[in-house]
Amino acid sequence: MAKKVLVLMGGFSHEREVSLVSGRGVVAALKEKNYEVVEHDLQDAWKFLDVLKKEKPDVVFNALHGNWGEDGAVQGFLDMLQIPYTHSGMRSSLLGMDKDVTKYLARSCGIKVALSEKIKVKDFWNNGTMVSMPYVLKPISDGSSVGVYIIMSNKDLEQVQYADENMEIMVEKYIPGKELTVACIGGKAYVVTEIRPKLEFYDYEAKYTDGVTEHILPAEIPEEVAEKCKRWAEKLHRKLGCRTVSRIDVRYNEEDGPVLLEINTHPGMTPLSLVPEQAKYVGISYADLCEMLVTSAGCRSLEA
């Protein structure tokens, strides 16, 4: 009898619409693999609980993106219910979503990271930052380049808008050069992609608008740089205890060499997403990748 998989999508974050695209792709792929599939658009936690009680799925495929989906929240909820779910567990998700913690763990693995400072929005405006221009502003815990600003001069500060003055942001030294990304699939990194956005930088629009970004696969970089990036992806995947898939983002130029920016423990699954593209490059189809995630699903034991 085929496993019943509940595909969880939508959610409450800025990335809701992208999550719905990921979810629909996953639904089609799992039906192709003959799973019994239930779709659920998460808009109300109590309704989600009712659906879980009614459907009693064997696995929840977590196709949520951003806060509540990638940060350990839904993972902890499903751990308590003892329902296996795809991607990384609560601890790995929580650590990976925090860009400052990720950098601390990366440094402990010998991975080079960009100079940065964690600071509250109000303190940034009142006291400035120790990081000299040019720099990048980004939320400590958010994904898909939401709320990211590149500050090349004081004039660029005029565009910065954060609604919550108590929110923690990262001020990170701007690293010029190539934007690289490396997926880790089942603990193994296979190839490096260079991302060439036609916009100013690889923002939310560039990620999810067809034709706005060019993916160079494999990246046109020295072989030793590619190998270092792949080893970094595997090291950080293990350090965080990620499950099945993760993806690191790196900047590279000849002077600085490769510099890690962050890890994504819950990469997107849309038609434009980078992990399915790298998987396909090494012979893993989209449907096979979805099945890998289902078969490796798990949850934290209550005895752990």
Active site residues: 15, 144, 208, 247, 249, 262, 264, 268
DSSP state of 165: T
- E strand segments, 16-167: 36-42, 59-62, 116-120, 135-139, 149-151
Residues 147, 197: contact at Cβ < 8 Å? no
Rounded Cα distance, 249 and 253, in Å: 14
Residue indicated by tokens 């189809």: 285
Residues 48, 40: contact at Cβ < 8 Å? yes
Residue indicated by tokens 């039906």: 31
DSSP state of 244: S
List, as own/partner pairs, every contact residues 79-82 make where C-beta atoms lie below 8 angstroms and the sequence separation is at least 24, other chains included. Answer: 79/299, 79/300, 81/52, 82/299, 82/302
